[in-house]
Amino acid sequence: MIREIEQIYRVWWVIENAPIVPEREQKLKHIARLRSWVYSTKIEWNRISYDDAEKMLRGEKIEARPRDQQELNNYMNVLDYIEQQESTKEITDKHIFKIHQLTTKKILDSWYHNKRRNEANAVYNEWWWIVYLPPEWKEVPKLMDDLLHYINTQDEVSVIIRAALLHHWFVIIHPFIDGNWRTARALTQLFLYQQWFNTKKYFSLEEYYDNDLTNYYEAIFIGNDFYQAQKEWIDSVKFIEYFLAWLAHELNYLKKKVSSISQDSKREEKLKKAWLSNRQIHIATTIKEKWIVSSSDLLAIYNVSSATIKRDLKKLSDAWLIIAQWDTKARKYLPIMSE
């Protein structure tokens, strides 16, 4: 776990310090927000696709169940709220009740807003079989107080470990009648933001869970009954390991994305400074996309003479955008800025 956390922080540092122009940075944030928006509700059986969600963001009408659209609108409001609260220093009841209220607006009776459950509850699978019985409602206030105290005060414990424990124990306690899973995921994101572990808001918690739901549920569940599990010991190690694997996966994905964008930005700057023609810019892009080409490959694409192609390739080489390489038959050209 320690080795994995150290590696996560190394990748996080690369992402935090990557030079990215503001326009591309905003695009990355938009994509991460859209991924969170879509996949957090999709985990709860929402049927709206990624493409339709993008249309909703643009204000276009889509064909979907009213409940599904309401869930997406609710979670967008949750994401807005998280960004407004990231400067706060700890997770409080106020955050929990507000996120739950925003998450379940017009889905759960408002009677259940701003209060913890005061009745028995259970978690069901898709066949309506009980798969988990949480603690009795009378114990919820004490359990939640203990959880928040630990999360907010145990500074010697890694932020990443505490984020995983917040997620895991919130679902174990199940403090609300409904909306517990989405509230847990949103709280985890808020806690990471509060602790400056936000990777410039490029990451999304939810898509990995949605693509791996079976293991997500298996990692969270401690058995069928809270009290039966307590007789031994409620062990969060399995979920922490799952959480670390998710975070490593997401950050490595972002590192590749950020590195590619950073390289593209440098390459675009070189293209601007080289005073290239439209055809030369297109040739540079073609070489980057195809990885390795010959002058004969380019002659088949562009309706110009061999001498013109050679001049174009020399100019791109002089601008240090491509590099020549000999093989057994002919000279080939590769992009310099490509991995």
State the burial class of residue 256 (Cβ atoms within 10 Å of its Cβ: 0-12, 13-18, 19+): exposed
At residue 246's C-alpha, the angle toward residues 240 and 252, to 5°, is 135
Give every CB contact of residue 114 below 8 A, 6+ residues apart in sequence.
97, 101
- The whole-number pLDDT of residue 339 equals 43
- The whole-number pLDDT of residue 103 equals 94
Helix 140-153, helix 93-103: angle, nearest 10: 110
End-to-end Cα separation, the chain, in angstroms: 30
Which domains are seen in the chain, by residue range? Answer: 2-261 (1.10.3290.10), 274-335 (1.10.10.10)
- The whole-number pLDDT of residue 338 equals 46
Q: Are 119 and 137 in contact (CB under 8 A)?
A: yes
- pLDDT mean for each 10 residues of the chain (339 residues): 90 81 76 83 83 85 90 92 92 97 93 91 85 93 96 95 96 94 93 86 76 85 82 82 91 81 62 73 80 84 88 86 74 70
3-state secondary structure of 133: strand
Distance from C-alpha of 205 to C-alpha of 191, rounded to nearest angstrom: 12
Q: How many helices (H) does the chain have, and how many strands (E)? A: 15, 5
